[in-house]
Structure 1
Amino acid sequence: MKTLYRVLILIALLVAAIASYSVGSQTGMFAFIILGFLLEGAFWLGLFPAKKR
């Protein structure tokens, strides 16, 4: 079940990043592009978590 939640959160982050990039490019608001960048970063960090020793 933990894997399912992780996958759903990653999909939600990716969709939110794409939506933010889209709104930022249409309206020209740089804040949405920065938000998209942060959401995409969260997606990539969640996709490859740090390995425990």
Structure 2
Amino acid sequence: MPDEPIKPFEPEKSATPPEKSVADQLNEEFAQEAEKLAKPKGEDAHIRIEFNSPFG
């Protein structure tokens, strides 16, 4: 065995961290789909969709 001390396991860190979390990406995709499907009839007809993500 080598004489080097045992290092604790450290997960590899990617050089470029993801810009958005998976939850953020899914929320954006859902919002885009909702906008395509939502066709308001009249000025006061609008749809508001909000997400409370469990991922932060």
TM-score normalised by structure 2 residue count: 0.40
**Highest relative contact order (Cα 8 Å, sep 6+), 1 or 2?**
1
